[in-house]
Every structure is written in C-alpha cells, then in structure tokens.
C-alpha cells in the first residue's frame, strides 16, 4: 500500500530532519546506559535494540552499558538469599556477588546482545573484568548515626567504584564493527570482583573515551524543576546552582552528578532521557526537539 500525500510528507520531513545529525555524529562515540523499565518491557527492549543498530549503520559508535537491579532482586528472592540496601546500594556479600555476576555478566548481558543481533546488528557482550577493562576499588560508604558524633563507615561488601578504565578492549571491538555491550562489573588489583553502579560506569567510560554524548535512560521525563516542568539546555554552572538550591534531590542527584562529571571531564553533552518512551534514543539523537534533559558546556 502506498503512502498518501500527507503521510509521505511527514516521512520526508523526519528523514531530512535526521540528516544533519547523521552527518554531525558520524564516527563519534555515544555511550548509552540501558536500564529500568526498558529492560523488562519487550517492546521497549526491541525498540532500544533497533535504535542502537541504526546508530551503528549510519556510522556512529554506540557503546551500551546496562544495569539489572530488578533481575538480580528476582533471582536472589528465588534463591532465598536475603538482601538489604544502604544509601540505595545493595549490600553485596560473596554469595550475593555470585548472583550479581551471573545475572549481569550472563543472562541480562546476553539477552541485550541477542536483541541487537536479532535487529540486524552485531553486538559483543563483555564485563569490566574482560581484559581488565574496568579496574575497580572497594566503595567506602558512610552513614550518619544519632548516637555518633562522626559518620559511621559501613561495609557493603563487593560494591566498587571505577578506579581506571583500559579502553583497548573497546577499541578492538569498535574497530571490528561490533557494538560493545558492557556489564558493570569490575576487578580489583587483588582480583576481587566488584559490582559497580551502571550510571557511574557509563559516565566514566564516556569521559575516558571523550564521547560525543552520554545518554542515561531513566523512568522519568528528565530533570524536573520545582513545578514539575522538564528542564533542558542546561550548562554545568546551571546544574551546580540547581543542586545548591535543592531543586535536584533524592534519587535523581547521583544520576545528575554522573552526567555533570562526564561533561566537566570532556564529554560534549549528557542527556537524561525517559526510557519508557519507545525509540527514546532515536528521538534524542536524530530530532531537533530531542528528549529529556540536556547538559553541556555550551552557553
């Protein structure tokens, strides 16, 4: 069935709007953190995979970093392994770390790789332990207690932070025309395995690779002001002011700090986008209006 005139003009408008972005981002690295609802909704999962494949086909270098909190929680519950959280982070003993590595480095990673491959792309899954891609160190967590005059240091086990990234593995994958899919698991200098927040891994990777874009998919429309309006086109100075005046609080604060650090570290722009919208990555990359919150050094 052929398109009617109005539909044809709409398609043409979309394609011509995308052209300058394709030209601008050809050869550039775009790091995308994939998580939240998009990981468990089959339609959103498929649309994400197709977006990433299209980016690669038009000459961009997408790098996917994924989380897997809900999947980890489900398997821990199935195995009757109790879990607790401190400051939003899962306490990860040796038994829990085995499950985390099984889920992130195994089932979740391979599911994303399969989706990209089934959409016509070529993906390769790795963890931060492969080729010592991500060198990690134990994360120190403190918590204020009314009984103590100083913060209490909490041991949350095998939870780490990025110490160093060796991009030689990623260069090899990208130069072979594959899309890297990275599980946020790192290794310490003594060989200890660490679970690392996927946003932090994505931000550090983007910074080290001097990426054009860092995209953090979340479950909300972006950064909201005190009236619930989505903020965008923000400079790093404006974001610092929003943190200082209390506009950015709670669960959004670590994500914004991650994006902010990446831009201050040389990434051209960072984007907090709503992963519950089908083809959110495509809309952010190829359209004038974009999606969610944009942070950059441009005034």
Helix axis angle, 198-208 to 252-264, nearest 10°: 10
- Of 290, 282, 46, 15, the closest CA to residue 7 belongs to 15
- Asked if pLDDT for residue 160 goes beyond 80, the answer is yes
- Asked if pLDDT for residue 150 goes beyond 60, the answer is no
- CA distances for 40 relative to 45, 104, 116, angstroms: 7, 14, 15
Q: Regarding beta strands 269-274 and 213-218, do their DSSP bridges make them parallel or antiparallel, or are they unpaired?
A: parallel
Tokens 């005046």 map to which residue? 245
For residues 160 and 137, is the Cβ–Cβ distance under 8 A?
Answer: yes
- Of 80, 67, 79, 77, the closest CA to residue 40 belongs to 67
- Of 76, 70, 83, 142, the closest CA to residue 111 belongs to 70
Least confident of 152-161, 237-246, 262-271: 152-161
pLDDT digits (tens, 9 = 90+) for 47-56: 999 999 999 9
Work out the average pLDDT over 254-272. Answer: 91
Q: What is the DSSP letter of 131?
A: G
Q: Regarding beta strands 152-154 and 141-143, do their DSSP bridges make them parallel or antiparallel, or are they unpaired?
A: antiparallel
Going by C-beta distance under 8 Å and a sequence separation of 6 or more, which residues neighbour residue 255? 199, 216, 218, 272
Least confident of 63-77, 83-97, 100-114, 145-159: 145-159
| pLDDT at residue 6 in the model | 73
Annotation: CATH topology of 27-296? Carbamate kinase (3.40.1160)
- Of 110, 289, 116, 291, the closest CA to residue 218 belongs to 291
Going by C-beta distance under 8 Å and a sequence separation of 6 or more, which residues neighbour residue 20? none
Q: What is the pTM of this model?
A: 0.90
Residue 41 has a CB neighbour count (10 Å cut-off) of 15
Tell me the two tokens of residue 291.
Answer: 């999606």
Can you tell me whether residue 288 is helix, strand or coil?
coil
Query: 181 has which bridge partners?
Result: 64, 125
- Asked if pLDDT for residue 145 goes beyond 70, the answer is no
Query: 33 has which bridge partners?
Result: 65, 216
Residue 13 has a CB neighbour count (10 Å cut-off) of 10
Q: Tell me which range, 3-7, 156-160, 213-217, is most confidently predicted by mean pLDDT.
A: 213-217
């Amino acid at each position: 069935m052929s398109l009617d005139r109005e539909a044809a003009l709409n398609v043409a408008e979309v394609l011509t709007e995308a052209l300058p972005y394709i030209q601008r981002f050809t050869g550039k690295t775009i790091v995308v953190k994939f998580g939240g609802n998009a990981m468990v909704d089959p339609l959103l999962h498929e649309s994400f995979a197709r977006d990433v494949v299209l980016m690669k086909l038009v000459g961009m270098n997408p790098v996917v970093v994924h989380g897997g909190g809900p999947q980890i929680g489900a398997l821990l519950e199935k195995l009757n392994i109790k879990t607790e959280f401190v400051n939003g982070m899962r306490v990860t003993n040796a038994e829990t770390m085995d499950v985390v590595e099984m889920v992130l480095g195994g089932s979740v990673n391979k599911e994303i790789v399969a989706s990209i491959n089934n959409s016509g792309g070529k993906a390769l899954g790795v963890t931060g332990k492969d080729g010592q891609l991500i060198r990690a160190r134990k994360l120190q967590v403190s918590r204020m207690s009314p009984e103590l005059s100083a913060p209490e240091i909490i041991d949350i086990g095998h939870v780490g932070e990025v110490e160093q990234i060796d991009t030689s593995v990623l260069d090899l994958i990208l130069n072979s025309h594959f899309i890297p899919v990275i599980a946020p698991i790192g290794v310490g200098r003594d060989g200890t395995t660490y679970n690392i927040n996927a946003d932090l891994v994505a931000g550090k990777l983007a910074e080290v690779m001097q990426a054009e874009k860092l995209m953090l998919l979340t479950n909300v429309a972006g950064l909201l002001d005190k009236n619930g309006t989505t903020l965008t086109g923000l400079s790093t100075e404006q974001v610092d002011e929003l943190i200082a005046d209390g506009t950015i609080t709670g669960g959004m604060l670590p994500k914004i700090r991650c994006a902010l650090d990446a831009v201050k570290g040389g990434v051209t722009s960072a984007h907090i986008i709503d992963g519950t919208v089908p083809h959110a990555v495509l809309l952010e990359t190829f359209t004038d209006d974009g999606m969610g919150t944009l942070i950059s050094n441009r005034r």
